[in-house]
Structure 1
């Protein structure tokens, strides 16, 4: 059983050896943090971001940052435990974290409808890990950008940015109020909208033809909403000869992006 002096030390934030403890602050953690080397490196190299408000890095990571990006006014050398204090419980920070507003949004008009170009649109996909994984696949397969709805979408930071492994700053992201209207605007600009739906008659490989394409992905539970589906030029499914009912939305996005990236 702990002695009264040990209990008092614990309340003061010290451990039994007399060293300062690292208790998580009682207040909420800001959601403007990025952590992990790839996410922070990409953020520092993105000209569409404002200068970071604060960078916490171990001595080794601080040397890497200054070698790669020069001296950073916001950089603070910190112990690993100090970095962990600033972040959500269990965040795997790899010795570095950065606090910054998100990168500037892109406009739909910024996306050029060139042959072979692919955009991703997410319809109420709200899980940060899924959105982050989809961004990572979008970067890997050379997608021209991603379109998200203003509402019901997680911030491009925190666990999402960690899952994206730097793709938050590599893939242009546009946010729109209404996905159906955005599809109309993109169609007018020369894009073809293909919605992924399990009930579609044709497979995605049959539908894709090399034209500039918007791949529209719905949430795992509900799929595409009716109005969004009606504004797609065609619906397509991912054939699953193994007979399994469905794929996780991030896995489905990776399959669709692979098909769309193949020369046609």
Structure 2
């Protein structure tokens, strides 16, 4: 079972000061050109020096040119980087390499998350928690757009990400490989801090309104809930995903200290 990687097919712009800085640090060779608003050039001395050292073509243009390039209403902060199309990893290769790299890989799967801000925040938490890779369901999940890159503050550049059209089968495949597969579910039967996340683990997070598809939730062997006080049903998907990811980090650190 294999889903071949491919280009994201999204517009090839990264914008905003911090995302472009991180891109310059992590993947400078992917930058085809840099556009800087001449009115704000003094803010980007470090970035412009790095671009010059890397041989990246740089254009100083009126701020309105950047706005026209992205569209009105998008806060580009005076800098754009045009990049080569982002290539998604092959899903099976991502999983196998994660297993080869460590005896307890931590993977994240995302289903039906459509808001770029939410996905960007999720990816920021993922890189902070040291995940080995991210699987994005092909159905109803936003891709690695410029808005996602900006919301992640450049974290997408440090992550291995694959599109997975058959996520339920992939979850079953991972279970056969010994993974604990945990779906975040407000009606789950186990509290979030009672799930053993110390071994090979896949955490599955679902969309803003409908959550994960039932077929995917059924494929997992644990349903974790984050109980809420008061009259609130659940946390925002980005927050709840971060909670469970860093619970995995906490458990693994605790286990290492006790071994």
| Structural RMSD (CA) | 2.3
* Contact 1:102/1:156, CA 8 A, preserved across alignment: no
Q: Which residue of 1 aligns with 2:20?
A: 40
Write out per-residue CA displacement over residues 167-208 of structure 1, whole angstroms, 9 at most, x where no aligned residue: 110222111111111112322333221011111121111013
Q: CA deviation at 1:101?
A: 3.5
More helix by share: 2
Q: Which residue of 2 aligns with 1:17?
A: none
Query: In structure 1, what is the Cα distance between the partners aligned to 2:21 and 2:245?
Result: 25
TM-score w.r.t. structure 1 length? Answer: 0.79
Give the 3 Å change call, closer, same or farther, for CA 200–153 of structure 1 in structure 2. Answer: closer
Write out per-residue CA displacement over residues 139-178 of structure 1, whole angstroms, 9 at most, x where no aligned residue: 2222222110234232312221111101110222111111
* Contact 1:62/1:75, CA 8 A, preserved across alignment: no
* Contact 1:66/1:72, CA 8 A, preserved across alignment: no
Structure 2, gaps ≥5 residues long:
1-9
* Contact 1:120/1:216, CA 8 A, preserved across alignment: yes
Write out per-residue CA displacement over residues 213-249 of structure 1, whole angstroms, 9 at most, x where no aligned residue: 1110111322221211121121111122344111111
Q: Which residue of 1 aligns with 2:69?
A: 86
Structure 1, gaps ≥5 residues long:
1-29
- 1:55 correspondence with 2:55: no
Query: In structure 1, what is the Cα distance between the partners aligned to 2:137 and 2:196?
Result: 24
Query: In structure 2, what is the Cα distance between the partners aligned to 1:234 and 1:90?
Result: 42
* Contact 1:133/1:163, CA 8 A, preserved across alignment: yes
**What does 1:115-194 correspond to in 2, within 5 Å?**
115=103, 117-194=105-182
The residue matched to 1:53 in structure 2 has which SS?
strand
- 1:67 correspondence with 2:54: no
Residue among 233, 249, 259 paired with 1:261: 249
TM-score w.r.t. structure 2 length? Answer: 0.81
Query: In structure 2, what is the Cα distance between the partners aligned to 1:45 and 1:143?
Result: 20
* Structure whose alpha-carbon radius of gyration is higher: 1
Q: CA deviation at 1:77?
A: 1.8
